[in-house]
Amino acid sequence: MLGGRLTYLDQTAGAELIYQVRKHYISVFIFPQQSSGQTTDLAAKSKHAAFSLQSFTHQGLRYVLISDTGDSDLGRLSDLLKSAQRE
């Protein structure tokens, strides 16, 4: 992990964690899961231009990983984050 910062999505405070895999950066955004009808729609996995996106929820938090690295690197970090939450 290189660092982190406070960020906002739809006027909701969250965290951005920044990881580096070789010469690529992975941004991990963490926000409270929206309980109201107004929520930002994020697919579990998608690709936009050269960027890949993966997201999952755990204990009321939404995790969104975005990077231009390969899907396998994004998947590995996602799996590590999920397994760290179980311990």
Quick: pLDDT tens for 32-85.
987 554 445 565 666 667 888 998 998 889 999 999 988 889 989 999 998 887
CA dist., res. 79 & res. 77, Å (int): 5
- pLDDT bin (cut points 50, 70, 90) of residue 31 is very high
Sorted by where each begins, the domain ranges of the chain are: 3-69
Q: Within 10 A of 81 (CB to CB), how many other CB atoms are there? A: 17
Alpha-carbon span 17 to 14, nearest angstrom: 10
Distance CA 73, CA 21 (A): 8
